[in-house]
Structure 1
Amino acid sequence: MGADGVFSPNMIKRVPSTKPPFTLGQVKKAIPPHCFERSLLRSAILPPPPSTSYHLILPTLHGRSTGFSKAVSSLVFGSLHTNAATMPSVTTSGSTTQLAYSSTLRSFVPYFSWKFSHRRHHSNIGCLDLDEVFVPKLKSQIPWHYMYLKQSTRPSLSPIYSDRERLHIYISDLGIFATTSVLCRIAITQGLAFVISIYGVPLLFVNGFLVLITYLQHTHPSLPHYDSAEWDWLRGALVTVDRDYGILNKVFHNITDTHVAHHLVATIPHYHAMEATEAIKPVLGEFYQFDSTPFYKALWREARECLYVEPDEKGVFWFMNKF
């Protein structure tokens, strides 16, 4: 880090912010055709290994937890189907995922609400004016209390969803109410401490780690951001970084080290994502960003260094940290 608050080029090499010399069509052409094939059967049978682990571990924690562990273990199943990349049709993906979320107590992350906001993130990634996920602020926009009280990128009373999405949001809300009802009944019969230990603590841990992963996917000193006048979709899709989580890469089905490919071609199922990533690297060249820094060290570095963005040239913004 230089004295002026700008990252030293010798320490972190910036990704080019110019228009890429390749097109999305060229990126897709480099990917083997079979990587686009989605199998309902393969998507459905992938969850058992993580689920099996839960079945083996949770009953040892509490003698009465066998039935409840089946519900908790299926959280992985719901997570795998939050994206159309795992299912051969949008209808199958949506209905299956909502059912999985509701029936496995996963509805505290309402599926349709997440689906619509995530779609907008994919459509506007890298744009300071339109993106919705870990959008950095300008230095002039950061009040003294920002880091403590204001983490939302939208005004608190602004609409998040459109009118045509309202019915689906209500369906997701019903899932939340159903989940709350089930948890209350379990607390009555098994005790509040049981619910907290078997559901509450794992839920906090899983969602906390999910936020960590998402933050590190979109926050890196080498990545630019753009205002709406300079932004275009392809450059925005490249404003993400693949990271190495060691053995956790496989535990998380490689969502951690194939995120660049995911943003470029979101319909590739995760079981083909590694092959697709290797195929597009030669096309992307220096536009592809991978960081092998251990995630806990990267989290500390990014939290200290990537505090705000400032323009380096017209419409292009870079992370800085000097106040």
Structure 2
Amino acid sequence: MATGVGVVGVGQEREEKEEEKEEELLRRGLWLMSESVQDVQAQAAALRQAVGALDSLPSTKLDATLLRHLFEMTQDVKVTRKKHTKARNSLRSVARDEWNTCARLKQQISELERELNELQPLQAFAQLQPLEAEHARLAQQIKDLATGLFSEINVISHCHDDTLMTHVSLSLCLNHSPPGLSLTRHCQRLHFFFSLDADADADADAEPFKMTVASQVTEEVAAVPTKHPRMPTDTPPFTLGQLKAAIPPHCFERNLFTSMRYVFQDLAGVATLYYLSTFIDQLPSFAGLFLWPLYWYLQGAVMTGLWVLAHECGHRAFCDNETIGDAVGMILHSALLVPYHPWRISHRKHHSRTNHMTEDEVFIPDTRGHEHIVPYDEMVGPVSVALRVFFCARMLLFGWPAYLLTHVTGRQYGRRTNHFEPESPLFDKKERGGVVLSDLVLFSWIGCLLYAGQTAGWGWLFKSYFVPYIIVNFWLVLITHLQHTDVRLPHYRSQEWTWLKGALCTMDRDYGHLNILHHHISDTHVVHHLFSYLPHYHAEEALAAIKPILGEYYLKDSVSPGLQGVMEALWNSMTYCRVVENTGEVLWFKDR
């Protein structure tokens, strides 16, 4: 702390010196200006006197001396005016320099204050390390206690005296329960452990009690949707500056040629797949039943990679030149029927308010009792499963166009909201020009598609372009939904929400071979939310550098590797992530 105070003291002394220098320069400039004004006033008075003398003389008495004197005075006035203009420009230059100096000083003071504030979290983080041994010791005690508990249960399982069994079981529940547990909860624990029924005496061949306990435990474990703990909701013991310092500096370098190489690589993949698809209809019809779905899957995956590159342009991670980045992003997103600038603006807002319950721009969950809860939330059994599949398919196939057209699942603005109207509440007045430009480019591309359909055939357009486009929408909604929807991820209200806590509320998932085709948008999404301007080709290295610092604040789903795990995660999210409780500042998903 002493080091921080010393740094602030040096900054204050430097600021006082700069202020004294600024005052001296301003006084000097004002003195020069006042002197110039006095000169001009004196010359003007002399000129008025000369004009008065000139008017009092007869026109025939004007001599060359008076005219020469008048001309000289006019020249003096011009010289004085030039001096005044020079002094004024000098004063403006001095004021501009001092303004820039003040801005630099304010920035330095802000950096010093931020460094000072980081000292306390660093000390707190250092104090947490000695607690690891204590945590391990307590965990071992809990493990030993559980082992002893189930050993006692196995002994009791061979007892045939119901009275003794009930007495000992009640004793076990009371002795091994946490302090303050209510009697009702004790009875629930007793029922969980012993599940006795009225026909126990009559059933002489009943299975040992140990089997009943094992089956109940198995059912409880099977009902749990995750093996990992929840995301911590406390203020992280690290800062964004510490995370950035841990990443190698070259990871933040945005190389235009490298980025364009990925664009041409994906475009070559799209062209190659389309060329190969032209031979499918020349093969026997049964071959098309397999080859067309294969083409749609591969083409949709590669086109999703192009979507990710356009997304990178919107984050200014494509290259250092924003104009080039916007041009590339405009072309790629328009080709995939996405208005570039409107989406870029709303997505930027999503990054600035991630997992905020009222101000996020996408996937805001319903609260319990919300009027828009989908019907399957109130149903059980096979009908519920069927409806769950239906709503899942509807979300994956049509969720993206619905989001662009109606801002579904996004922030409620109280009036019509979409990504096409310049007057939409998503955009400021200064952003409306980009919205109009994006609309013009997008509708021009739609016109090209309609012309191609009329000339080449609607069937060709449907198989070659529209079905892969639907696959792109499928992957886009699936990826973004699973990045922010999980029972382990909280949502915050304003009192608890901070930018860093919100940015950490995302989850990495392994998509297998699609990680490469999708440019690692799914398995490095945590580092992307922390540093969205970092290029995708450095994301894996950057993530490896900050994972030790993130610790328990880093979540990666590891239910099953590859697409099998992704489908399991999707089903779990549709099952267990229906609503959040409408109480408190930190909200968690509930299954009903």
> What TM-score does the superposition give when structure 2 sets the normalisation length?
0.49
In the TM superposition, what is the alpha-carbon distance from 1:99 to its structure 2 partner? 3.3
Give the Å deviation of 1:76: 4.4
- Equivalent residues in 2 for 1:10-159, closer than 5 Å: 11-62=227-278, 76-77=305-306, 79-83=308-312, 84-102=316-334, 105-106=335-336, 108-145=337-374, 151-153=408-410, 154=412, 155=414, 157-158=416-417, 159=425
C-alpha RMSD of matched pairs (Å): 2.8
The letter for the 2-side match of 1:188 is: Q
Deviation larger for 257-266 or 82-91: 82-91
Cα deviation 1:174-226 (Å, max 9, x = unaligned): 12210111011101110111111111111011111111000001111111110
The Cα of 1:157 is off from its aligned counterpart by 1.7
One-letter code of the match for 2:587? F
Matched-pair contact (CA < 8 Å) for 1:305–1:321 = yes
Code of the residue aligned with 1:226 in structure 2: it is Y
Q: CA deviation at 1:304?
A: 0.8
Go from structure 1 to structure 2 and tell me whether the alpha carbon gap of 1:290 and 1:145 turns closer, same or farther (over 3 Å shift).
closer
**Equivalence for 1:319:** 589
Q: What do the CA deviations read for 1:234-275 (whole angstroms, capped 9, x no partner)? A: 000011000011111111110010000000111110000000
242-251 or 156-165: which moved more? Answer: 156-165
Q: CA deviation at 1:9?
A: 9.7
Q: Does residue 190 of the first structure (1) align with residue 190 of the second (2)?
A: no
Contact kept, 8 Å, 1:221 with 1:305, in 2: the verdict is yes
1:307 has 2:578 as partner: yes
Percent pairwise identity = 39
Q: Deviations over 1:15-42 (max 9, x none)?
A: 1001101000001011111111110000
The answer (yes or no) to whether the contact 1:82–1:93 under 8 Å persists in 2 is no
Q: Shift in Å at residue 300 of structure 1?
A: 0.6
Secondary structure of the residue that 1:253 maps to in structure 2? coil
CA contact (8 A) 1:51 1:76 kept: no
1:220-235, aligned counterparts within 5 Å? Answer: 220-235=486-501
Q: Of the candidates 465, 478, 483, which is equivalent to residue 199 of structure 1? A: 465
The one-letter amino acid paired with 2:360 is D
Q: 1:289 to 1:142 in 2, by over 3 A?
A: farther
Aligned 8 A contact 1:220 1:306 in 2: yes
Aligned 8 A contact 2:579 2:591 in 1: yes
Unaligned runs of 5+ in 1: 66-71
Distance 1:222 1:129, change over 3 A: same
Choose 134-143 or 54-63, whichever is displaced more.
54-63
Identify the structure with bigger relative contact order (alpha carbons < 8 Å, sequence gap 6+). 1
- d(CA) in 2 for partners of 1:75, 1:246: 15
SS in 1 for 2:366: coil
Indicate if the aligned counterparts of 2:308 and 2:521 stay in contact, CA closer than 8 A.
no
SS in 1 for 2:496: coil
Q: Where does 1:224-263 land on structure 2 (aligned, <5 Å)?
A: 224-263=490-529
Q: What's the TM-score, normalizing by structure 1? A: 0.87
Structure 2: 5+ residue stretches without partners: 1-218, 282-299, 377-390, 395-405, 418-424, 560-564
CA shift at 1:78, angstroms?
A: 5.5
- 1:68 matched residue in structure 2: none
Aligned to 2:566: 295
In the alignment, structure 1 residue 286 sits paired with structure 2 residue 552: yes
The one-letter code sitting in structure 1 at the alignment partner of 2:547 is K
Bigger CA radius of gyration: 2
Which stretch of the first structure deviates more once superposed, 140-149 or 43-52?
140-149
Question: 1:9 and 1:176, CA in 2 relative to 1: closer, same or farther beyond 3 A?
Answer: closer
Q: Which amino acid aligns with 1:116?
A: I
- The residue type equivalent to 1:55 in the other structure is A
In the alignment of these two chains, the number of paired residues is 309
Displacement of 1:129: 1.2
The one-letter code matched in structure 2 to 1:136 is: P
Shift in Å, 1:10: 7.5
Larger relative helix fraction = 2
Tell me the SS of whatever aligns to 1:128.
coil
Instruction: Give the Cα–Cα distance (whole angstroms) in 2 for the partners of residues 49 and 10 of structure 1.
Output: 38
How big is each residue's C-alpha offset from its partner over 1:263-306, in whole Å with a ceiling of 9 and x where there is no partner?
01111100000000111101111000010231011101111111
Shifted more, 161-170 versus 275-284: the winner is: 161-170
Is the 1:31–1:276 Cα contact (8 Å) retained in structure 2? Answer: yes
Instruction: Give the Cα separation in 2 of the matches to 1:38 and 1:237.
Output: 22
